[in-house]
Amino acid sequence: MSKRILAAAFGAAFAFVATSAMAGTLDEVKKKGFVTCGVSQGLAGFSLPDDKGEWTGFDVDFCRSIAAAIFNDAKKVKFTPLSSQARFTALQSGEVDLLSRNTTWTMGRDTSLGLMFAGTTYYDGQGFMVKKSLNVKSALELSGASVCTQTGTTTEQNLADYFRSKNMKYEVVSFEKQADVDKAYESGRCDVYTTDQSGLYAVRLTLANPDDHVILPEIISKEPLALTVRQGDDVWFSVVKWVYFATVNAEELGVTSKNADEMLKSTNPEIQRLVGATDKFGEGIGLTNAWAYQAIKLVGNYGEIFERNLGPSTRLKIARGVNALWKNGGLQYGPPIR
């Protein structure tokens, strides 16, 4: 809603104008006793409050891992749902400490928006969803269609590039809130829904008759969805980045939430460094040496987080695909902890 955009925009402007440079985020987080994490406003599998009002999802779990690494308590997170439009101003103004909010890592955002991307938690790409009854088999048949999407996204830019470069006509109908996009698509205001493919799977579940809609085979972009922090705070950047890498390394080394305690006694030097049995890597990033052990014990390794929220046993049934570990042919790769 316009009021929200305005509020966020003024918040950002005000932060630029009224506050002096932000003190270290890690220190502030420790002082206030919780992490403020910007998540999406409701996307099944990624960030959604469950029936008890607890936030759940893939994006949510990375916030919890970070809280677990800092506080040894995965509950010390305050979730702030943000629209795509408002997310960057909320981060810049200090309203949140990080974004774990299906945010695509792009060069423009990385260099001129004052943001830094701390690691790609999910490799995605933009897709299209249409009603089965339209009998469309490929995105190339979409000339003349109305396309619904969200404002403030890479999605609306990719869409423009794709249709214009293919010389296809289209009409874009975009809203700030995803709920409004869903409504417009379901009412028939648009023929096509476009967003990150993972988002399409999530949205389809919430439609009245999910089986009436198909996701087309074309993927028109690269959407590396990454954890996002403010530029200029290297300590906090390292914390966020290495908590994520720790979850990936833990999967590779077979350390899980269930066996974390046994792993404390492991003789494998790599595991010893990860769980903090040897060396002082935690202290190096301003945490205790049990940082990674806590994150894995309380929230799980990358594979566990994926399976729990998105994998074949969930409603979303997303395959690991490119998000498999590098040694299984995927792209998830944690630099060594040493």
Partner 1 sequence: MTITTEVSPQSSDSQGDKIFWWNDPRIRGFILQGAMLLAVVLVFSTAIYTANSNLDNHHNARGFGFLDNRAGFDLAQALVDYPKDATYGRALLVGFLNTALVAVFGILFATILGFIAGIARLSKNAVISTIAMVYVETVRNVPLLLQMLFWYVGVLQVLPAPRNSFQPITGSVFLNNRGLFIPQVSFTGMTGWGILFGLVLGIVAAVIMSKWATARQLRTGAQFPAFWVGLALILALPIIGFVITGANYTTNFPIKSTFNLSGGMRVIPEFMALVLALTLYTGVFIAEIVRSGILSVSYGQSEACHALGLTNGQTLRLVVIPQAMRVIIPPLTNQYLNVTKNSSLAVAIGYPDLVYVGGTVLNQSGQAIEVIALWMLVYLGTSVTTATLMNWYNQRNAIVER
Interface contacts to partner 1, rule CB under 8 A: 1-2, 5-6, 9-10, 12-13, 15-21, 84-85, 88-89, 92, 108, 111-114, 134, 142-146, 151-152, 156-157, 159-161, 164, 170-176, 180, 183-184, 187-189, 191, 230-232
Residue type, 221: S
Q: Considering only residues 56, 102, 194, 228, which one is a binding residue for ligand GSH as defined by CB under 6 A?
A: 102
Tell me the CB-side half-sphere exposure of residue 221, using CA atoms within 13 A.
25
Site mask, ligand GSH, residues 179-198, x = CB under 6 A? ----------------xx--
User: Is 178 or 332 the residue whose CB approaches ligand GSH more closely?
Assistant: 178
Q: Name the minimum Å distance from CB 133 to partner 1.
A: 10
Segment 134 to 153, residues that bind ligand GSH, using CB under 6 A? 150, 153
| Cβ neighbours of residue 56 closer than 8 Å, sequence gap 6 or more | 47, 48, 49, 50, 309
| Cβ neighbours of residue 178 closer than 8 Å, sequence gap 6 or more | 40, 41, 42, 43, 83, 150, 203
Does residue 312 contact residue 320 with C-beta atoms inside 8 Å?
no
Q: Which stretch binds ligand GSH (CB under 6 A): 9-17, 26-34, 60-68, 97-105?
A: 97-105
Q: Considering only residues 5, 15, 41, 272, which one is a binding residue for ligand GSH as defined by CB under 6 A?
A: 41
Please compute Rg for the chain using Cα positions.
Answer: 20
User: Is 143 or 259 the residue whose CB approaches partner 1 more closely?
Assistant: 143
- How far CA 228 is from CA of 12, 47, 144, 194, in Å, comes to 16, 16, 36, 23
Tell me, rounded to whole angstroms, the distance of Cα 7 from its chain centroid. 24
Q: Where are the alpha helices (DSSP H) in 145-229?
A: 154-165, 178-187, 197-206
Q: Name the minimum Å distance from CB 231 to partner 1.
A: 6
Q: Which does 29 bind (CB under 5 to 8 A by kind): ligand GSH, partner 1, none?
A: none
199 contacts ligand GSH (rule: CB under 6 A): yes
Does residue 47 contact residue 81 with C-beta atoms inside 8 Å?
yes
Q: Name the minimum Å distance from CB 185 to ligand GSH.
A: 12
